[in-house]
Structure 1
Amino acid sequence: MNSTRNIGIIGEDIAERYLLENDYKVLERNFRVKAGEIDIIAQKNQIIIFVEVKARSSNKYGFPYESVDYRKQQKIIRVAENYIKFKGLTNCQYRFDIIEVFLKENKKINHIQNAFWA
């Protein structure tokens, strides 16, 4: 397994723990369909949250959230639409969040709620 994937798994573990500690219910992890993958799908207060986790060991290439560009957002939205259809969720509220994990800064987390919209 390459180091980028290892960093991703560590970041997702930290993000999941953070969500659970903050009263989110984790519904899925690494939900995958043909259109792509969503790292974490959670729920809080009747809202479904589609979470993209970005972990970095340095900011050499910019802040983690910057890698979730328009193209990546559209892919996440398509996967979320698949999830909503697959689960038969009608009239549900949902949002798209990004959780940044800074591994070299004591695993600091920056949770960006409503990072983008469908």
Structure 2
Amino acid sequence: MKNNKIKGNLGEDLACLYLTKNGYNILERNLTFKFGEVDVVAIKDNILTFIEVKSRSSLNFGLPSEAVDFKKVTKITKVAKAYISNTSLYYNEVSFDVIEVYLNENKINHIERAF
């Protein structure tokens, strides 16, 4: 379990570096409410983006994005609604993205508007 936490943190760090290099402003990391958590909240071009980061060192358990199931999507959307209702940010639209981090390949796949 500890190893997975380390991989997850590394993946989130790499995802945030990628996002920053691509013009996103990171607003929150590990945004948590009692009913769920979102890895990253960022904004770019007036699009408020909630991002789930999934990291893998192998594909033994499938593609990283396949781990974002209906239950996870439901939790992320609840967190997003709570965040939006508690902020006065200006934005034009909301996006839900998934970032796949392939640790052994040093590769990132950003799936915009994943759900």
Any unmatched runs of 5+ in structure 2?
Answer: none
Map 1:50-65 to 2 at 5 A. Answer: 50-65=50-65
Q: Is residue 16 of structure 1 aligned with residue 19 of structure 2?
A: no
Any unmatched runs of 5+ in structure 1?
Answer: none
CA deviation after TM superposition for structure 1 residue 35, in Å: 1.2
Aligned residues, how many? 115
What is the alpha-carbon distance in structure 2 between the residues aligned to residue 10 and residue 96 of structure 1? 21
Which amino acid in 2 is paired with 1:102?
A: Y
Q: Which residue of 2 aligns with 1:82?
A: 82
Aligned to 1:87, the other structure's residue is in SS state: coil
What is the alpha-carbon distance in structure 2 between the residues aligned to residue 97 and residue 87 of structure 1? 20
CA deviation after TM superposition for structure 1 residue 91, in Å: 7.0
Which runs of structure 1 show a deviation greater than 3 angstroms over 4 or more consecutive aligned residues? Answer: 88-92
Q: Which residue of 1 aligns with 2:46?
A: 46
Q: 1:91 to 1:39 in 2, by over 3 A?
A: closer
What is the alpha-carbon distance in structure 1 between the residues aligned to residue 54 and residue 91 of structure 2? 29
Which amino acid in 2 is paired with 1:85?
A: S
8 Å contact from structure 2 (residues 46, 91) kept in 1: no
Aligned to 2:8, the other structure's residue is in SS state: helix
Which amino acid in 2 is paired with 1:19?
A: L
Cα RMSD after superposing both structures = 1.4
Which amino acid in 2 is paired with 1:86?
A: N
TM-score normalised by structure 2 residue count: 0.95
What is the alpha-carbon distance in structure 2 between the residues aligned to residue 72 and residue 90 of structure 1? 26
